[in-house]
Amino acid sequence: MTFGKVHWMPLLVGLIVVVGLPLVGRWARWHSRSGCAFDGGKIDPSYRVAVVDARGNSHDFCCIRCAQCWLRRQPAPLSAITVTDEASGEMIAAATAWYVRSTVVTMPMTQNRVHVFRNKADAETNAAGHGGRLLSEAELPFREGIGSPLPRDGSPTP
């Protein structure tokens, strides 16, 4: 019977598109998230840096150093930079974070030694334990990308 052949083919193609496209999309997103946008290195979720450009596209980086190198090549203003709080693993706005430069390298490839914390207490504990120190406002990463720092947790209230 030809009935089945004629009418099932478009249905089958439709089914493949409906089921297949989201899978392809998911794979593409996973694939684009799997490497650093600057050097292609593997991204450890504990140190991930994410930058949303002026067009709304998100770019992930393995460390602060890669994000800084990439940002220097960006002519347009950026809409958001988020960094990972090492204590909780959560993403936070770069302008609200405390940064510690210590002897501990987060990414052997780039020799990045800047660590990120949401709370000043966590940053101070990390610095004390690893021969590091908190970065001053003049040394903060992404100053050009995010402007002046926002009030941070642990900052003295004016």
Give the other-Cβ count within 10 Å of 118's Cβ. Answer: 22
Residue closer to Zn ion by CB (options 99, 122) is 99
Provide CB contacts within 8 A for 95, sequence distance 6+. Answer: 81, 142, 146, 147, 148, 149, 150
Give the Cα separation of 40 and 97 in Å (integer). 25
Residue closer to Zn ion by CB (options 39, 153) is 39
CB of 37 to Zn ion, least distance (A): 8
Looking at 39-96, list the stretches that DSSP marks H as alpha helix, in order from N- to C-terminal side. Answer: 64-72
Q: What are the Cα distances from residue 93, in Å, to 16, 26, 87, 113, 118?
A: 40, 26, 15, 19, 9
Residue closer to Zn ion by CB (options 62, 83) is 62
Residue closer to Zn ion by CB (options 39, 124) is 39
CB of 34 to Zn ion, least distance (A): 12
Q: Which helix (DSSP H) or strand (DSSP E) does residue 133 occupy?
A: strand 133-134
CB of 58 to Zn ion, least distance (A): 15
Residues binding Zn ion (CB under 5 A): 36, 38-39, 41, 62, 66
Residue closer to Zn ion by CB (options 36, 97) is 36
Q: Which helix (DSSP H) or strand (DSSP E) does residue 124 occupy?
A: helix 120-129
CB of 74 to Zn ion, least distance (A): 15
Give the Cα separation of 119 and 97 in Å (integer). 7
CB of 117 to Zn ion, least distance (A): 20
